[in-house]
Chains A and B, each alone.
Chain A
């Protein structure tokens, strides 16, 4: 083979790598955002497939607990939205048989669950806390939630909002939490009621909850999700 033929052969082999140029789409600003959103959506879809409704998050003994004062207080806006604890109710709407305002006493009258679980922050740190409350699944049964519904959306006193897929909402460790470390929730930790979802990342576990909606379509996703974070983010 002479040199010219060899060069031609090399060129042909080099051309076989041209599909790699497609990745250059990530370098183009108008395409980058939609592509990354597709990637994030794919990850969320895969996360949903990986989620096992009956699989429990690890629970810990009391000696593993992070001391209460070292349990970080994280919020997107204010530490204390000054909820009127006396007159607080949880407003339930959407696909439920008994919509309305539910008092803390009504929630506390439901069976109580206590668990020591890990709270994982998207930033990378984690703590082990003791949480007490009623199972969200128990409360959803109590208000007669439509079993064909697909989502739970919550609104909070600090204008935070979040949503959960129904499988996660029905998970036995997902709580309407009103106690931490066997004490009523403090204002900074989300009094009077917050979500505890050990199978999800921290920002899904909304504090100062005021409204709960059961729905078939997801039209209000979540505060951090709307900034570009993953929606499902199951652990």
Chain B
């Protein structure tokens, strides 16, 4: 994977900074499409959950939590199902497009967490959470980022698989069986959703902390003056 690098000269000061093409178009496009689809899937999923906010018996019904209607999409069960059953195809198509691109372009190397990244996770976590020194990096993504993104992609795959097990427990009964049955498949689908929500919250915090240039790079692909480039 050859990363494209250019020098950008400021008209006012004459200073030169490097700009790196970090995110090819298919990655950016699927990132934002996925963000929209995920928003709709989560919102409508929570409205669906409101219809029976439990994982136990119907009689007697013990509600797990009362999710407010204001933080859900669809207004009622039927409406939420329409959103869920429409956007799941967008969500799946986006995921397949993204994974297909990453594999065939080789761009996956930028994001895939592999064995040699393991030892870099702790120093990075120490830097972020315990004010440790900033480890030097030479890559677009540091090991902790790779772990986070690879994990998020894994959660995306799991959300689809658990969703299918809940939607088609008979036609894909093997999938429901692998998840410990229909009841547990529904639990896993719910758990995976919360894991994704947690990831997104952490992701948003990191986006805020890393500033404007970093944010722009997911829109245009180009990041000016990236911290990992030292000359």
Which residues on A are within 8 Å of B, measured CB to CB?
Answer: 1-4, 6, 9-11, 13-14, 16-17, 19-20, 23, 26, 35-40, 42-43, 47, 50-52, 55, 57-58, 66, 69-70, 72, 118, 120-127, 198-199, 224, 227-230, 234-235
Contact = CB atoms under 8 A, between A and B. Distances in A.
Interface in B131-148: none
Interface string B115-130: 0000000000000000
B3 interface: no
Interface of B: 6-11, 19, 25, 28-29, 32-33, 36, 40, 48-49, 51-52, 54, 57-59, 61, 77-79, 81-83, 85-90, 167-173, 182-183, 186, 216, 219-222, 224
Given A72-B58, A198-B170, A17 B219 contact: yes
A36 B86 contact: yes
B89 A43 contact: yes
Given A14-B219, A17-B32, A72-B58, A120 B169 contact: yes
Nearest to B21: A13
Nearest to B15: A3
- Of all A-B residue pairs in the complex, the 9 with the closest CB atoms, nearest first, are A39-B86, A124-B52, A125-B58, A43-B85, A36-B82, A123-B51, A10-B220, A13-B220, A228-B78
Contacts of B220: 9-11, 13-14
10 contacts: A6-B19, A16-B28, A16-B29, A36-B86, A43-B88, A125-B52, A126-B183, A228-B78, A235-B167, A235-B171
Report whether over half of chain B's contact residues are helix, strand or loop; otherwise say mixed: helix
Contact of A124 (B9, B11, B29, B49): B49
